[in-house]
């Protein structure tokens, strides 16, 4: 058989696939590697603070895509208009208070390094998004949930400003994890649009 679709691979990951697809994945190194990536992606998502995926996920995504041309990386925390739903979600976001060890480099330096990394990933995401294929519903839901969380983190970042470098650093770490996950999801779509 042909390589399974992203959705079929996600079904394998979640233990609900057909025997045929499962058998293909067992035999195919390419698909096994892709499956391993999806497992890592899920684990990374589980490690993030909880947020309910919004209803009407696909509609929201299509609207967002229509707006993509005028989007000058509007998710940048520099100055984003925040939707009401996102403002509500901010209340649900937990910022961990007890970081384990203090960083070995000065916190301001760390923050600026994290900010650089975050900007760099924004560019990677923009590029990967522009090549992303047609999305299945489930992937669309994942993307919308991730973008919502990203908007929530960005809203936090704007509120914190430059007064609390440790909190800013923590938020930037969350932001980097989210953008990484988004890049992963889009990259998966690109590779599997046969």
- Give residues in contact with Zn ion (CB under 5 A): 3, 28, 30-31
Structure tokens at 149: 């969380």
**Which residue, 29 or 94, is less far from Zn ion as judged by CB?**
29
- Report the alpha-carbon distance of residue 179 to residue 194 in Å, rounded: 25
Cβ 5 to Zn ion shortest distance, Å: 11
**Which residue, 34 or 184, is less far from Zn ion as judged by CB?**
34
Please, is 66 exposed, middle or buried when counting C-beta atoms within 10 Å of its C-beta (0-12, 13-18, 19+)?
Answer: exposed
- Report the alpha-carbon distance of residue 171 to residue 89 in Å, rounded: 15
**Which residue, 74 or 191, is less far from Zn ion as judged by CB?**
191
Cβ 34 to Zn ion shortest distance, Å: 8
Count the Cβ atoms, other than its own, within 10 Å of residue 169. 19
**Which residue, 2 or 163, is less far from Zn ion as judged by CB?**
2
Structure tokens at 108: 């301001």
Contacts of 33 (CB under 8 A, 6+ apart): none
Cβ 2 to Zn ion shortest distance, Å: 8
**Which residue, 29 or 47, is less far from Zn ion as judged by CB?**
29
Cβ 189 to Zn ion shortest distance, Å: 16
Cβ 132 to Zn ion shortest distance, Å: 20
Please, is 25 exposed, middle or buried when counting C-beta atoms within 10 Å of its C-beta (0-12, 13-18, 19+)?
Answer: buried
Q: Select the residue whose beta carbon is closest to Zn ion and give its number.
A: 28
């Amino acid at each position: 058989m042909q390589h399974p679709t992203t959705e079929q691979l996600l079904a394998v990951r979640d233990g609900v696939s057909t025997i045929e697809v499962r058998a293909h994945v067992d035999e195919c190194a390419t698909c096994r590697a892709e499956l391993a990536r999806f497992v890592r992606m899920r684990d990374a998502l589980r490690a993030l603070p909880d947020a309910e995926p919004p209803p009407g996920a696909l509609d929201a995504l299509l609207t967002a895509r229509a707006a993509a041309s005028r989007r000058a990386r509007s998710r940048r925390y520099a100055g984003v208009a925040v939707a009401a739903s996102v403002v509500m979600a901010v209340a649900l976001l937990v910022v961990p208070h007890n970081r384990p060890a203090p960083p070995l480099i000065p916190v301001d330096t760390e923050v600026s390094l994290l900010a650089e990394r975050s900007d760099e990933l924004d560019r990677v995401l923009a590029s990967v998004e522009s090549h992303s294929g047609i999305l299945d519903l489930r992937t669309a839901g994942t993307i919308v949930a991730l973008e919502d969380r990203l908007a929530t983190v960005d809203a936090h970042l704007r509120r914190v400003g430059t007064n609390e470098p440790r909190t800013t650093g923590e938020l930037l770490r969350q932001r980097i994890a989210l953008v990484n996950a988004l890049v992963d999801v889009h990259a998966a779509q690109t590779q599997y649009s046969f």
